Amino acid sequence: MKRKLLVPAAAAALAAFAGAGYAANGENDALAVTGAKIDLAKAVAAAEQHVGGKASKAEYERHKGQWVFDIEVVKDKKVMDVKVDAGSGKVISATEDKADQDDDHDEAD
């Protein structure tokens, strides 16, 4: 009996999670990447070259009214948040991301 209740609840939770992928304006960020003039690989390469480190995470999102690749790059013990213009492939900004450097509170695998 409980099993029958869990399936609809899990489906509802999945639907809510999937809906979270849509931006406030109803546009799906994942589908918006088709409008980028550069691909993810070029954006990651630009970010890694700019910082001199290795990319650990990348997202495609709106930032100050324009679409950018937001890439976390790790170098030594620093995590940098690098924004790459999706149209030109140029690095817009690179700032230290102190929130992602504190891994003392992460759960162990």
Asked if pLDDT for residue 23 goes beyond 90, the answer is: no
DSSP H or E segment with residue 92: strand 91-96
Q: What is the domain range of residue 78?
A: 36-100
- Total number of domains in the chain: 2
Rounded to an integer, the average pLDDT of 71-91 is 97
Rounded to whole angstroms, how far apart are CA atoms 62 and 70? 9
Determine the 3-state secondary structure of 101 from DSSP.
coil
Residues 1 and 40 in one domain: no
Residues 18 and 45 in one domain: no
Of the candidate ranges 12-16, 40-44, 81-85, 88-92, the one whose mean pLDDT is the lowest: 12-16
